[in-house]
Amino acid sequence: MKLHILGIAGTFMGGVAALARELGHEVEGSDQAVYPPMSTQLEKLGIALSQGYDPAHISADVESVVIGNALSRGNPAVEAVLDEGRAYTSGAEWLRDHVLPGREVIAVAGTHGKTTTTTITTYLLQSAGREPGFLIGGVAEDFGVSARIGSGREFVVEADEYDTAFFDKRSKFVHYRPAVAILNNLEYDHADIFPDLAAIERQFHHLIRTVPHRGRLIVNGEDDNLKRVLAVGCWTPVETFGIGDGFDWSAHLVNADGSIFDVIHAGNKIGTVEWPMLGRHNVMNGLAALAACQAVGVDAASVIPALANFRSVKRRMEVVGEMGDITVYDDFAHHPTAIATTLDGLRAKVGDARIVVAMEPRSNSMRLGAHAEALAPSLAGADVVVFLARPELPWDADKVIAEVRGEAIAVPDAETLLAALAARVQAGDHVVFMSNGGFDGAPRRFVERLRG
């Protein structure tokens, strides 16, 4: 079958493209903005990419159009698909119909940590010899791709609560019918889709309704919002995870930065994790992944040593360069909670060294101002913050800047941002670029500037 994927450069749709290609389908696609790492992955797979949503980019012999959730009515390609009566589907539906049947699906849901937890779970299953399939919302360093069919029974999928498509406003994860579901955490996000937290909780409960009694729910035992969702109704055995005592799966921190922690299951220590990851949030991600693996028959204690070599996902505190005692990171964090936990983990590692943050607040929730009040407090771990406040971003940057603990400024474009960073950076600094978009290639451009 020949497919055209609209929105192909997104992390999810790019993964769908990779899976379709691996299954032998002919794949082409188009997107408004094509940038690494997904564009690099697609080019390696030999998938033809077109820039922009011109209907002419959809070949006449395409048999089905897979439409990403970033596209709406009024988009010229969408209008052409409808007017011409072409067959179309969503990415989540395509995955459900063509990849997931017959697989033991592990779905990883939550406001934060989905990509990392999906990757850890996949990595542990691979370490146990299970050869899992996976679809991750990013390119995993240990696999080199964001998606793979896999020859094993398990398929691990990053289960996003964002809506499915312009014609299906349910969350993507309701399509996956998992045997095991990880519920990492639950906070308000996606202000362009959900009017309030209760609306997101309702979608999470729809997911819970699809998990069979024989399956397992792996739930963050520290999260009151998830407790409220479970209280609505639950028909599946639940295992909780958290830091400290009182959970089915507990972590006791050996190092404050989260790089070493003991794993306690059912009251017994089953091993000690020593890995390159930092932060309390990653400890929670690791616990959830271990619990999920145990739920599908892997002895968690046997795979703990493998985490010493885990390399995570591109753009999750990825070190992109070290020049003159200055370390530069590229990070995907865009929600205030994720920003705060990421900086807390780095602070625990670097001690009194300066942390300089370059931030592009570009998510839909940021654009709508949903996180404006929480943004400044989330940056308390930074000494200097430079915001890329593009003119089209409708939020009050001055108000946020006034409340940031350290030095903070806003600039209108990436080139000015790079110059502002270069004027402020010092030997020994840790410079973190934070954005859920391409950021105009700023992290690597800054490394090149330092080298120059």
- Alpha carbon 125 to its chain centroid, in Å, reads 19
Q: Provide the token pair at 174.
A: 């309701």
- Could you tell me which of 116, 195, 102 has the C-alpha nearest to residue 149? 102
The answer on whether 114 is annotated among ligand-binding residues is yes
Kindly list the strands in the beta sheet with 154-158, ordered across the sheet, starting from the edge strand earlier in the chain: 147-148, 133-135, 154-158, 104-109, 180-183, 216-220, 238-243, 249-253, 260-265, 268-274
Alpha carbon distance 272, 265 (integer Å): 12
Query: Residues of 212-225 as b/e, b for ≥16 C-beta within 10 angstroms?
Result: eeebbbbbbbbbeb
CA angle at residue 139 from 36 to 243, to 5 degrees? 130
Strand partners for 212: none
3-state secondary structure of 89: strand
Question: Is residue 349 annotated as involved in ligand binding?
Answer: no
Burial class (CB in 10 A: 0-12, 13-18, 19+), 449: middle
Q: Which of 204, 122, 181, 117 is nearest to 156 (CA)?
A: 122
- The verdict on whether residue 113 carries a ligand-binding annotation is yes
Q: CA-CA distance, 12 to 16, in Å (whole number)?
A: 6
> Following CA atoms 379, 382, 384, 390 in sequence, which dihedral angle do they give, to the nearest 10 degrees?
-30
44 assigned binding-site residue: no
437 labeled binding residue: no
Locate 253 and state its tokens.
């921190």
Could you list the residues known to form a binding site, using ranges.
110-116
Could you list the residues known to form a binding site for ATP, using ranges.
110-116
